Amino acid sequence: MTENGKSRWGATIALVTATILAGCANDRGPHPDLPPLGARMEFLSRNLCSEGVSPEIRLGGVPGNTAYYRLRITNTSVLAAPRADATIKAESPVIPEGALSDFDAPCPGELQAFNYRLEVMALADDGRSLAYGWAFASARSLTKQIQQEQDEIKRRLADRPNRRKFPEAKRPPLFIQ
């Protein structure tokens, strides 16, 4: 291949890459035509390793006629990771912990963190897409997660007013004769 052929090939690759990235570079995700759906997921110690129940998912802006949620949780830190896909009945804007039966709990090592992308599609009874949203969450090692949860409990207790403190008893006045 000639130098001119190499530069054309490189320019073609750059153009294709730029086109793909431009298509992905919007703040509405892959479904910009759908109303946005707020989503939040957080990994706690009980969502990691051997206990591994799926985390609670909180949603906002759920359309009133939503019958189902289609969920996808993908580990974006590795190239070939299994992902959790599920369609569950929409009973409230909170998908309870443990709702995903095929959830493969992350178990990062001490110096690792896995990043996850949550995608949620609100569906009507007939399967029509009503809204779409996504969120990101990180899973850290189990020991680091437990330490963070203990620190959070200590912080909350320190910030809380001491409710057991009784008002100071009033002393009777001294009588001097």
The pLDDT tens digits for 31-43 are 788 899 999 999 9
Percent of the chain with pLDDT over 70: 73
Tokens representing 151? Answer: 């620190």
What is the overall mean pLDDT for the chain?
Answer: 80
| Domain positions in the chain | 36-156
Residue 23's pLDDT is what?
Answer: 47
Res 61 pLDDT > 70: yes
Q: Residue for token digits 């006045």?
A: 173
Q: Which one of 13-17, 125-129, 146-150 scores highest in mean pLDDT?
A: 125-129
Phi, psi of 4 (to 5 degrees): -65, -40
Res 88 pLDDT > 80: yes
Contacts of 145 (CB under 8 A, 6+ apart): 43, 44, 45, 48, 139
* Least confident range of 25-39, 50-64, 130-144, 158-172: 158-172
Look at the pTM and tell me if it is higher than 0.75: no
Res 12 pLDDT > 80: no
Q: Which residue has the higher pLDDT, 94 or 78?
A: 94
Pick from 85, 29, 36, 39: nearest CA to 59:
39
Continuous segment of H or E residues that includes residue 148: helix 142-159
CATH of 36-156, one of 3.90.280.10, 3.40.50.2000, 3.30.390.50, 3.40.1350.10: 3.90.280.10
Cβ-based neighbour number of residue 73 at 10 Å: 23
What are 128-160's pLDDT values in tens digits?
999 999 999 998 888 888 888 888 888 888 877
Q: Which residue has the higher pLDDT, 60 or 159?
A: 60
Q: Which one of 71-75, 83-87, 146-150, 169-173 scores highest in mean pLDDT?
A: 71-75
Pick from 120, 58, 124, 50: nearest CA to 85:
120
Cβ-based neighbour number of residue 57 at 10 Å: 24
Residue 151's pLDDT is what?
Answer: 87
Res 65 pLDDT > 70: yes
